[in-house]
Amino acid sequence: MPLIAGIDIGNATTEVALAQHGRFIASGIVATTGMKGTRDNIAGVVTSLQQALDKTPWSLQDVAKICINEAAPVIGDVAMETITETIITESTMIGHNPQTPGGVGVGMGITISVDKLASLREGRFAQGWIPLVGEEIDFLEAVWLINEALDRGINVVAAILKKDDGVLVNNRLRRAMPVVDEVTLLEKVPEGVLAAVEVAAAGQVVRVLSNPYGIATFFALTPEETQTIVPIARALIGNRSAVVLKTPQGDVQSRTIPAGKIFIRGEKRGGEADVAQGAQAIMQAMSACAPVCDIRGEAGTHAGGMLERVRKVMASLTGHDMNAVHIQDLLAVDTFIPREVRGGIAGECSMENAVGIAAMVKSDRLQMQAIASELSARLNTPVEVGGVEANMAVAGALTTPGCAAPLAILDLGAGSTDAAIINSDGVVKAVHLAGAGNMVSLLIQTELGLSDPFLAEEIKKYPLAKVESLFSIRHENGAVEFFREPLSPSVFAKVVYLKDGELIPVDNQTSLEKIRLVRRQAKEKVFVTNCLRALRQVSPGGSIRDITFVVLVGGSSLDFEIPQMITDALAHYGVVAGQGNIRGTEGPRNAVATGLVLAGEAKK
């Protein structure tokens, strides 16, 4: 019995729909092999097709025709361009944030090596002193030297340690004072200079030294000098402990990195945008030049290098000349990246401004035709390029119970966001935009400073909780859940994500509230922004209010919070939006594959 297969090659998954005489009989889904739109996809296509056939009594020989999508490659190398930078010259130290500072409060005094405290005369007790404790000095010896100085009336107001001994030292001192430890390059801290040390209580952050006027008060700065220390205060925001030194030659600067310009060539007009001005300026230029034919970056700059990398990768994968590769769309998003401060002496980090950019290469039907030909020869079955994804997704979405034209669809994938609208006459208008699930994962990874991209992907997909005891957790929505059996000690007091009923710890010191905020903001910046601009482009009158019904399809519409975000955003325009249920059985998945089957059968 002849079968027809529709195969949707996506950035993350390859999906199959099998039908016989207009009746759908099976579906399949596997991870996409290689970059979407390249010959590497063939292995995944064969695997997904076999997976679907395994659910039926038929084999590959029974497949009469295969329809694949016109896959537009989306480069997964989304760039993060830092556009501000904090630089320290000479020996100024702008702050520190160790895990275990000791004491609490603010101390201001002159730095001195701890072993020189014994040489101080009692007559100088009014001056505040801050001893520097190197790794060659044991914490017990340091405690003895500081306590002995206090007993003699020396005014020791704080301490700076190289080793991780802050709590051990603080617990043994005769006077409460702030103690900062883990200053790895302590030898670069000069003696005899004025310094301020602040340690906040557990669960709190520094308030005095993260305030420019607080620093100005301690160091008696002029209004002009106060302007120059703004980067210091900015870099200390959110820290539990902080140190600021005043050296004669030291200086702190905040400078803008020349990230370069982006040049946009549209069908009717061209434009440009400076990356340093942020995502809004870039997207305004994109909107003014729509529809876009090609995008290039300024030669010799960060932006130019990023976009040329995109061309180079696509050229090598497709075998085309770099000049023949055109970038069809670009999504820019403002974000922050934790960057180690240049010139810091204790691994200090500052949250620097950055722009995330996702670029999409123009669809190459000839490349897809080459894939179809190779696949046909391998399977000995006719293979044709069925059509543009968004058009096919509309046809698939219409199989959702309760749906009928006119309506619009949003296909939310891993690399791209597609939108299409079909009117009552069956005419489809579609758009294909860069930026989707992969970009959300990148934003989460960079803003949280994660080294593991897999952890960022998991944080994106699963809700969070905080383990409050061995028998209870508090979910991110505030609900408390109790357990009959004790939880593993490995998750105690940690932030975890809930995956298939299992608690998996997040190996990061960031709070649950911060992780949740970063995750939700990343989804809003990418998906909500892209959905709104996609619908504006396909709307008959250019306004979202001209659209009544929107169906969400694609893998990312399975996310536990993205559909609600989009539904809420569209509700302001009077639009009814919700997840699709393809063929009444597949949920929001398989829309394009189903549409390919329907289009293939219509050509018989």
Tell me whether residue 181 is annotated as binding. yes
| Mean pLDDT computed over 356-362 | 79
Burial 406-436 (b: 16+ CB within 10 A, else e): bbbbbbbbbbbbbbbbbeeeeebbbbbbbbb
Peptide bond into 291 cis (omega under 30): yes
- State which amino acid sits at residue 55: K
Tell me whether residue 154 is annotated as binding. no
Tell me whether residue 508 is annotated as binding. no
With a cut of 70, say whether residue 593 has pLDDT above it: yes
Which pLDDT belongs to residue 89?
44
Residue 251's pLDDT band (cuts 50, 70, 90) = low
Q: Which tens digit of pLDDT belongs to each residue from 138-159?
A: 999 999 999 999 998 899 999 9
Tell me whether residue 81 is annotated as binding. no
Which pLDDT belongs to residue 229?
75
Cα-atom radius of gyration of the chain, to the nearest Å?
30
Residue 23's pLDDT band (cuts 50, 70, 90) = very high
Tell me whether residue 488 is annotated as binding. no
The Cβ of residue 373 has, within 10 Å, a number of other Cβ atoms equal to 12
Peptide bond into 2 cis (omega under 30): no
Tell me whether residue 198 is annotated as binding. no
Which pLDDT belongs to residue 433?
87
**Phi and psi dihedrals of 550, rounded to 5?**
-130, 130
Length of the chain: 604
In this structure, is the dihedral angle defined by the CA atoms of residues 135, 183, 98 and 155, taken in order, positive or negative? positive
| Mean pLDDT computed over 185-211 | 85
Percent over 70 (pLDDT), the chain: 88
Percent over 90 (pLDDT), the chain: 44
Tell me whether residue 381 is annotated as binding. no
Tell me whether residue 100 is annotated as binding. yes
Q: Which tens digit of pLDDT belongs to each residue from 116-125?
A: 998 887 655 5
Tell me whether residue 354 is annotated as binding. no
Separation of alpha carbons 101 and 289, rounded Å = 53
The Cβ of residue 451 has, within 10 Å, a number of other Cβ atoms equal to 9
Residue 92's pLDDT band (cuts 50, 70, 90) = very low
Least confident of 185-199, 331-345, 366-380: 331-345
Model confidence pTM above 0.75: yes
Tell me whether residue 82 is annotated as binding. no
| Mean pLDDT computed over 206-228 | 85
Q: Which tens digit of pLDDT belongs to each residue from 417-461?
A: 889 999 888 888 888 888 899 899 989 998 888 888 999 999 999
| Per-chain mean pLDDT for the chain | 85
Which pLDDT belongs to residue 568?
93
- State which amino acid sits at residue 112: I
Give me the sheet containing 383-388, strands edge to edge: 23-31, 13-20, 3-9, 63-70, 383-388
Tell me whether residue 556 is annotated as binding. yes
Q: Which tens digit of pLDDT belongs to each residue from 518-568?
A: 999 999 999 999 999 999 989 988 889 889 889 999 989 999 999 999 999
Q: Look at residues 437, 434, 477 and name the one whose alpha carbon lies nearest to residue 457.
A: 437
Residue 55's pLDDT band (cuts 50, 70, 90) = very high
Tell me whether residue 323 is annotated as binding. no
Which pLDDT belongs to residue 356?
83
Q: Look at residues 334, 537, 517 and name the one whose alpha carbon lies nearest to residue 417.
A: 537
With a cut of 60, say whether residue 95 has pLDDT above it: no
DSSP string covering 210-270, please? TSHHHHHHHHT--HHHHHHTHHHHHHHTT-SEEEEEE-SS-EEEEEE----EEEEEESS-E
Tell me whether residue 91 is annotated as binding. no
